[in-house]
Chains A and B, each alone.
Chain A
Amino acid sequence: MRTIKEFKKGFSTELAPFRLVLGLCPALAVTTSAENGLGMGLATTFVLICSNILISLLRNLIPKKVRIACYIVLIATFVVTVELLLQAFFYPLYERLGIFVSLIVVNCIILGRAEAFASKNQIGYSAVDGLGIGLGFTMSLTLLGGIRELLGAGKLFGMAIMWKGFEPFTFMVKAPGAFIILGILLFLMNFMGSLNKGKT
Chain B
Amino acid sequence: MEYFVLIVSAILVNNILLAQYLGNCPFLGVSKQMHTAFGMGAAVIFTMTLASTFAWCVYHFILVPLELEFLRTLAFILVIASLVQLVEIFMKKTMGTLYQALGIFLPLITTNCAVLGVAILCVRSDYSYMKMLVFSFSSAVGFALALVLFAGLRERFAISRIPHSLQDTSIGLVTAGLMSLAFLGFLEMA
**A contact set with B: CB distance below 8 Å:** 21-25, 28-29, 68-69, 72-73, 76-77, 79-80, 83-84, 99, 102-103, 105-108, 111, 171, 174-180, 182-184, 186-187, 190-191, 193-194
Contact = CB atoms under 8 A, between A and B. Distances in A.
Nearest to A103: B113
A111 B117 CA distance: 17
A148 to B, nearest CB: 12
Contacts of B20: 29, 175
A153 to B, nearest CB: 18
Interface size of B as a range: 35 or more
Given A24-B25, A108-B111, A190-B165, A99 B174 contact: no
A176 B111 contact: no
A90 B173 CA distance: 32
A182 B25 CA distance: 14
Contacts of A193: 165
Contact of A25 (B73, B110, B113): B113
Contact of B73 (A28, A79, A171, A178): A79
- Chain B interface helix/strand/loop/mixed: helix
Secondary structure of the A contact surface, majority rule: helix
Nearest to B27: A24
Given A76-B74, A83-B73, A176-B181, A25 B170 contact: no
B70 A187 contact: no
Given A178-B177, A179-B176, A187-B170, 8 more contacts: A23-B25, A28-B21, A105-B77, A107-B111, A175-B20, A183-B177, A184-B174, A187-B174
